[in-house]
Copies of this chain bind each other. A is one copy, B any other.
């Protein structure tokens, strides 16, 4: 993202009839969106909700049974989930991407079939996937980003569905950061204390057995990641490559974004971090990525729900950019604000 362009956009914001900087982070949203995309409005918005299953659920790390992953995929396609409600609010389309759900789907409207396998292997006993599968997942996400260019999609959001997927997300963070597993592992969909202890032990074992190499993000993704996380990582990489701003949802999406940023640090300039999740590891991820979340609404649902809310916020910010008159246009006297 061209620094000169950011300065130029902010200069226009500074001529608008209001105290300088008084719209705070709304100005940041407008400035970054316009500088990244070269646009002042959004034609189409899409949220890609990547779904995948996780072999590690065999260890009892989730409060929900694994059949919920395909059940929720059907719910998304029928429009009855939280992400559907919030995407409708934001005027965004939801596209569900089957990256590795442990079920067979017939051809269904709104579902992209990109299944790598029917769920990852159990990361507590060996690698979650092969390096080749990790690369396949990344490529799928990258290709989706490229497909957005011709489709006139000017803002992309990430989302996830996969019972058990806070476990690989915490493992990815632990692998990159070296932080103690108990400091990055939390309750996911709502596990009790014994399950939390199990989850911590499982991640510790997974890291010991797999020894993911933090200097090789594809290795981290393959050994302790997930198929939907691979898709998200690829989507974020691809959006940066084609210059489409990408709103990254909560904990699982941020794990994917972290893979992308560790692969290529400049990717961070294209990311809008939607919100601060309840998951305790999220703050550490956000710090490594170096983008501050917009919202803190104590959400922990995933699906892309936080991304949908921030898409609406970006629309609002672009409206202020386009529609607030300058001091001269409005006939308002300037101040000596700093």
Give me the interface of A with B, judged by CB distance under 8 Å: 16-26, 62-65, 67-68, 71-72, 74-75, 78-82, 84-86, 88-90, 188-192, 278, 294-301, 305, 308-309, 312-313, 315-316, 319-320, 322-325, 329-338
Contact = CB atoms under 8 A, between A and B. Distances in A.
Contacts of A62: 335
Contacts of A188: 19
A320 B20 contact: no
B299 A71 contact: no
Contacts of A312: 89, 312, 316
A264 to B, nearest CB: 29
Given A192-B338, A336-B63, A331 B74 contact: yes
The 4 A-B residue pairs with the shortest CB-CB distance, nearest first, are A190-B337, A24-B298, A80-B325, A64-B335
Given A335-B68, A337-B189, A18 B63 contact: no
Nearest to A26: B297
A168 B127 CA distance: 63
Given A71-B333, A331-B74, A299 B19 contact: no
A199 to B, nearest CB: 14
Contacts of A315: 89
Contacts of A85: 316, 319-320, 322-324
A63 B335 contact: yes
Given A17-B80, A90-B316, 9 more contacts: A17-B72, A19-B63, A64-B333, A84-B323, A85-B324, A86-B319, A88-B319, A191-B337, A192-B336
A278 B24 contact: yes
Contact of A324 (B65, B71, B81, B325): B81
Nearest to A193: B338
Contacts of A323: 79-80, 84-85, 88
A233 to B, nearest CB: 23
A24 B299 contact: yes
Nearest to A278: B24
A190 B23 CA distance: 13
28 contacts: A17-B72, A17-B75, A18-B82, A19-B64, A19-B190, A22-B301, A25-B297, A26-B299, A63-B336, A65-B335, A67-B333, A80-B323, A80-B325, A80-B330, A81-B325, A82-B320, A84-B323, A85-B320, A85-B323, A85-B324, A88-B319, A89-B312, A89-B315, A90-B316, A189-B337, A190-B336, A190-B338, A312-B312
A266 to B, nearest CB: 25
A317 to B, nearest CB: 9
B313 A190 contact: no
Contacts of A21: 190
B337 A25 contact: no
Interface centre among A25, A315, A320 (most CB of B within 10 A): A320
Contacts of A88: 319, 323
A334 to B, nearest CB: 8
A75 to B, nearest CB: 4
A239 to B, nearest CB: 23
A27 B299 CA distance: 9
Interface centre among A65, A188, A297, A305 (most CB of B within 10 A): A297
